[in-house]
Amino acid sequence: MFVRVNWISKLHGFVMAMIVAIAAPMTAAQESPLKTERYTLKVETVAADLTSPWSVALLPDGLILITEKPGNLRVMREGKLLARPVSGLPKVTPRGQGGLLDVVAHPKYRENQLIYWSYSAGDAEVVGTEVARGRLVCEADQCSVTDVQVIFVQQPKVNTGHHFGSRLVWDRSGNLFVTLGDRGRQDEAQNIGNHLGTVLRLTETGAVPADNPLAKREGAMPQIFTYGNRNVQGAAIHPRTGELWAHEHGPQGGDELNILRAGRNYGWPVITHGRTYGLGRTIGEGTERDDIPKALKIWLPQSIAPSGLTFYTGKLFPQWQSSLFLGSLREQMLIRLTLNGDSVTGEERIGGFGRVRDVREGPDGALYVLSESMGKLFRLTPMK
């Protein structure tokens, strides 16, 4: 018996040593300096042990909010991830790619403490993207949302688990863009009588802005800002022009970066560079049409599965001024695009972060990268 127990003990010790030996280089790689084209980066883990994190919001009062797709909204306060999630959210119905998705602060958050979030909701049969808002209140180690209002409900809800979008972006006039997906019903993206495959523009209360492009068109959903969008999971306002830039997932190849302009049709699934999964067959009429805006960049022949989007305007990285950052789920990296006006002039791929779900510039000028696969939030700063 002694010999057997001793042998098992030694085996257990050997296995544990191997696990540590394998894990140690991974940890070291994440925390060690990371060389890029213009900077050597210091990579710090800000939060860990997150469950399928989807979005991060860095609030003006120093709080950091992180959504977890299964339905929890987490809070970081004074560098500590609070154990208990935010209470008071409406019920989230996780389904496939759906769950608790984006979160942003109101432009006047310092005055009203309002936050907005998108999520999938429904029942056993059908689900759809919804947007809610509420007042964030934190006491000791517990935060909650009060005065909760659901300001948007996607019509129609459907029985698939695909393509919910969903990014929330404020424009300069205080209106809220909501990006959606076609929910796997691609032909409906050309139908302006529903919300599938569209990007919306709402007031802060969920009403329709009077100058929305389809607000007075008979038979159209008045919230629609653009349509013909397959699945937009990254959007940001250009710091100089104020225009909405967004990327969207293609099927097999054909991911796009576009400037989204009021009332325009972005083509899906009639005009696309993407092909059918597995078979590689062409989709729709072709890759160009006069009335369809041309994408600023198209990723071919493989999709990168883009996620998150932010223009860098901070002072910590002067050589990254006006660079555009996005994540790649498929390639498991951070991507930096260099720009000349509205043209993409270069692409740099920065590995080591797993499946990047979101990227944001912080108030401190650092770049924050949210890794879905690692369950971590990273903070990037230049090495001194």
Residue 2: predicted pLDDT: 34
Q: Which residues pair with 66 in a beta bridge?
A: 56, 74
The class of domain 33-382 in CATH terms is mainly beta
Name beta bridge partners: 130.
119, 153
Distance CA 62, CA 241 (A): 28
What is the model's pLDDT at position 31? 63
pLDDT number for residue 192:
98
Distance CA 280, CA 75 (A): 43
Catalytic residue among 12, 106, 162, 163: 163
Residue written as token pair 């005065």 = 147
**Any residues with CB less than 8 A from the CB of 154 and at least 6 apart, and which?**
128, 129, 130, 180, 195, 196
Paired residues of 77 in beta bridges: 80
Q: Is 270 helix (H, G, I), strand (E, B) or coil?
A: coil
- CA atoms of 202 and 332, how far apart (whole Å): 33
pTM: 0.91
Predicted pLDDT of residue 1: 35
Point out which residues pair with 356 in neighbouring strands. Answer: 371
Q: Could you report the average pLDDT of every consecutive run of 10 residues in the chain (384 residues)?
A: 35 36 36 90 96 98 97 96 97 97 98 98 96 96 97 97 96 98 96 98 98 97 98 97 97 95 98 85 91 96 95 97 95 97 96 97 97 97 91
Q: What is the DSSP string of 42-111?
A: EEEEEE-S-SSEEEEEE-TTS-EEEEETTTEEEEEETTEE-SSPPB-PPPP---TT-SEEEEEE-TTHHH
Cα end-to-end distance, the chain, whole Å: 58
Is 163 labeled as catalytic in the residue annotation? yes
Residue 357: how many other CB atoms lie within 10 Å: 24
User: What's CA 378's distance to the chain center, in Å?
Assistant: 15
Whether 224 and 198 have beta carbons less than 8 Å apart is answered as: yes
Q: According to the model, what pLDDT value does residue 95 have?
A: 96
pLDDT of residue 384: 78
Asked if residue 101 lies in contact with residue 55, where contact means CB atoms within 8 angstroms, the answer is yes
pLDDT of residue 281: 86
Residue 278 has a pLDDT of: 75
d(CA 240, CA 129): 30
* pLDDT for the residue 9: 36
